[in-house]
Amino acid sequence: MNRHLVLPAAIIFDMDGVLVDSNPFHLRKWVDLFQAHGIPFDEGELPNIVLGPPNDVTFRRYLAKDLTPEQLAELSEELEENFRREIGPHARAFPGVRRFIEESHTQGITMAVASAAIAKNVDFLISALGLRDYFRELLTGDDISHPKPDPEIYLKTADKLGVSPAACAVFEDSFVGIEAAKRAGMKCVAIASTFSEEDLRRKTHADLIVPSFEAVSLQTLRHVFNGAGPSPGKRVPN
């Protein structure tokens, strides 16, 4: 009976924390910038401050509230150059990612990336991972006016793919990303790479929560997409 369960028409992936373990390098880029500019900071508190908010929020918190657009652009370019330099030699897809993407590609499922990161970083990382040819679209923070948890990026991605939002499945790792996917009317699988399974279960409405892509297959997705699996946060057959 399981083979009669339909698959989504499209699968959309967030990038940081979903396809690649980039958060340590996002932290490192801020450390490099702060040290270069002599800005004091508490490294233990840094993850809670810089992972998630837009760069300009952090710049204004640590430097000055009245930074000009030109100053913000210059600092952002320096920051993201730090990131690409740090992660370049170490960019690796999470275990199970390539196998799942290749399996989905073989089944003819359209795939895309929808990331809040800037276009330069998305292009750089997806190419470094050797995954560019699998994705029909790459949408980035440069393509939207309203960041996650607003559903704009996911609705725009579905539109570019020519697919109904209800026919899409999303892979996310963050609270705001999961909320954006659900507000877009999409099914969402949460990967517990950035936050624990317990926190994701308590704080989100993800349709399924898994420890990694090694716990996911298209059979898993069939159950999630058809509502044939157990309640959110539980495991379904893979």
CA-based max dimension of the chain: 63
Burial (0-12, 13-18, 19+ Cβ within 10 Å), 37: exposed
Tell me what pLDDT residue 231 has: 44
pLDDT at 59 over 80: yes
Of the chain, the percentage scoring pLDDT greater than 90 comes to: 80
**Reduced to 3 DSSP states, what percent helix, strand and coil does the chain have, rounded to the nearest 5?**
50, 10, 40
Nearest-CA neighbor of 83 among 17, 25, 165? 25
Q: What is the pTM of this model?
A: 0.89
Q: What would the pLDDT profile of 174-229 be if each residue is shown by its tens digit?
A: 999 999 999 999 999 999 998 999 999 999 999 999 999 999 999 999 988 887 55
CATH code for residues 24-89:
1.10.150.240
**What is the DSSP code (8-state) at residue 88?**
G
Q: What would the pLDDT profile of 75-84 be if each residue is shown by its tens digit?
A: 999 999 999 9
CATH code for residues 2-21+92-225:
3.40.50.1000
Map tokens 């000055």 to a residue.
64
Both structure tokens of 99? 């196998």
Is the separation of the CB atoms in 184 and 166 below 8 Å? no
Q: What's the average model confidence in pLDDT over 13-32?
A: 94
Is the separation of the CB atoms in 3 and 219 below 8 Å? no
Task: Parse the chain into domains and list their residue ranges.
Answer: 2-21+92-225, 24-89
Q: What's the average model confidence in pLDDT over 28-48?
A: 92
pLDDT averaged over every residue in the chain: 91
pLDDT at 1 over 70: no
Tell me what pLDDT residue 230 has: 44
Q: What's the average model confidence in pLDDT over 85-97?
A: 95
